[in-house]
A and B are shown apart, each in its own frame.
Chain A
Amino acid sequence: MNDTSNSNSIKEIWAIGGGKGGVGKSFVAGNLGILLAQRGFRVILADLDLGGANLHTWLGVNTPEQGVSEFVDRQVEQIHELLIPTSIPHLRLISGARDGIEIANLKHTQKMRFLMALKRLDTDFIVMDLGAGTAYNTIDFFLLAEKQLMVVIPEPTSIENAYRFLKNSFYRKLRHTSSSFGLRTVIEQMLKNNNSFGIRSPRDLIEYLRQMGGNASTFIEDQLEHFQPNLIINQTRSESDIRIGRAMEKACLKYFGLTLNFSGYVEQHEGVRESVLRRKPVTLDKPDSLMSQQLKTISENLLRSSNLSTPLTPVYSRLIP
């Protein structure tokens, strides 16, 4: 399929982030992509973890010749030239495997060009594997998506990183959208560390804006309604680990004032490692396994959910460098 100028062809963009490396973002992204394709949707998997690109490995595709770096460098002018077919019908890959430039270090103009091109692709779904970290560029790709997914393992370091990623994403979103409400300056002030408003957490900020009333109150309610990321717990080992999902929803609301949606979990299982070593995704290698069933449940929950985060689609040109 060639690149067309039909910018309305994409149903949804899904972004898989979460802050910490090694928790299974590529595992989840790759398998979700496959599950969507098996339902007949046209899917493009985009590996944006340029420093540690391995979606191609998860999918059993040989290291591609061209990837995001070549597009960013302008060695490749048209994004559709990057599309690599996979053994799965309807599923194509954009690889980050020849990493010349890290996505975290993309210049603003490079990022804009890539985002615009991505949005113009003729497909039903784009599933982006964002990689680790909370750099602005990583977060901006996260904010681009209609369905924002965070993958977490039930350990303190991963959970801490996820909350940091969530907070940074929310604040970044506020910075991007505050100008259209005429609140740019005051929001910038409030987001500073040790600000004079006494705002130390997202919850403080939300309550302050609510109390301000008027435009400020409308602004924050609008932002909250359209920022509802999904949570996936990977590598669970017990019932207790699974319950962490709901517990995180409650904790996030209580301490951050933000809505998190627990969308499912995947058990830790030796079978996953076996599939990885065979370079076959678990949904293909062991489709009847518990993990595959759990991934399927997650994909169904996500497809069904109506809690869509509003992507920053209309405001590309105003993305802050």
Chain B
Amino acid sequence: METAENYYELLEVEASASFEEVQKAYEKKLEEVHEESLAAYSLCPVEENEDLLRKLSEAFMQLADPEARRTHDLKLESKPIQEEISSKPYLAPTTPVVKTKIESSSPSNEGKVVFLRPQLKTGGFSTSTGEAFQAKVSDTQKPNPITKLNRQNVSASLEEITHQSAKLRQDAFQNLAGKNKQTDAKLQEYYQFLEANEGVVRYSGSVLHQIRELKGITIMELATVTCVRGTYLESIEKENFKIFPSAVYLKGYLHCYLKALDLPLDQVCEQYMKLFDDWQEEGSENNSF
């Protein structure tokens, strides 16, 4: 039986740490990795930091979800685990998933879903009605899940997020897991649409935005689960790279974003971080001595 990974040790927190302490520990670790990777730039193989970052974000997401944290703690104690564990324990719903039609799922899914044609270079959006893929849903709701009220919450402070109760966070995790599961078919359709039009699925900021929208997940919901500020999450989708202190922070937050949306970490990170590298290169050419 393999030894369970001790995520408390990895993040250097006590097993009794509050959510706020766990979140602060993750941010501190990101800072350490940032400093170490900068100090060892050109000396240290890139993979070393990649592996560490992945482990850290994995640890954080597991300890951020009250249910997953319980699972982790039980594994550490090597007690038999009673409840059914899915392959992704930290986002698995504990209530059975009722198969519903798309039209009758949560309100945010009832909006008109238009697959906007992503402009891969600029990260913006355009509507090409001839090629737009439309799901047949009610016309009564506006498509944009980020309502005015939510927009105020996007810039909610970290303190506000970390002080949310464990119950609220647990509900948020379960809610997210439900949405991820329910929209699987829609996601596949979207991938087919991209392949038909672009030849390949290329994960840019605008594609990530589109995926989140079709899953009916708001930035606020993501922020609650990942504890990453809404402004950072939005910036990932807008490819607004200058807001991130360094690649380490961008990657750390991107990992959390992808885990929450149940997207393949390796594949997406590799493609997305290329955009960041290109942006950095352009910047240094313009600023060369």
Contacts and interface: CB of A to CB of B under 8 A. Distances in A.
Interface in B5-46: 31, 34-36, 38-44
Interface of A is mostly: helix
B41 A243 contact: no
Contacts of B82: none
A251 B284 contact: no
B284 A247 contact: no
Contacts of A154: 38
A22 B44 CA distance: 25
Contacts of B38: 154, 156, 159, 244, 247
A221 to B, nearest CB: 22
A134 to B, nearest CB: 13
A207 interface: no
Interface string A106-131: 00000000000000000000000000
B43 A240 contact: no
B289 A163 contact: no
Most buried by B among A164, A240, A251, A252: A251
- Sorting the interface of chain B by its residue count into under 10, 10 to 19, 20 to 34 or 35 or more gives 10 to 19
A20 B36 CA distance: 20
Contact of A163 (B31, B35, B42, B284): B42
Contacts of B41: 156, 159-160, 163
Contact of B43 (A21, A22, A157, A163): A163
Interface residues of A, number: 20
Contact of A157 (B31, B34, B284): B284
A189 B34 CA distance: 37
A319 interface: no
Contact of B44 (A21, A164, A251): A251
A87 B284 CA distance: 39
Interface in A227-251: 240, 243-244, 247-248, 250-251
Nearest to A21: B289
Contacts of B40: 247-248, 251, 254-255
A256 interface: yes
Contacts of B43: 163, 251-252, 254-256
Interface in A142-162: 154, 156-157, 159-160
Contacts of A164: 42
Contact of A247 (B35, B42, B289): B35
Contact of B36 (A156, A157, A251): A251
Nearest to A248: B39
A83 B43 CA distance: 41
A193 to B, nearest CB: 16
A256 to B, nearest CB: 7
Contacts of A248: 39-40
Contacts of A244: 35, 38-39
Given A22-B289, A157-B284, A251 B34 contact: no
Q: Which 6 A-B pairs have the closest CB atoms?
A: A247-B39, A251-B40, A255-B43, A160-B42, A248-B39, A156-B41
15 contacts: A156-B38, A159-B38, A160-B41, A163-B41, A163-B43, A240-B31, A240-B35, A247-B36, A247-B38, A250-B39, A251-B40, A252-B43, A254-B40, A255-B43, A256-B43
Interface of B: 31, 34-36, 38-44, 284, 289
Given A164-B42, A251-B40, 7 more contacts: A22-B289, A156-B38, A240-B34, A244-B39, A247-B35, A247-B36, A254-B43
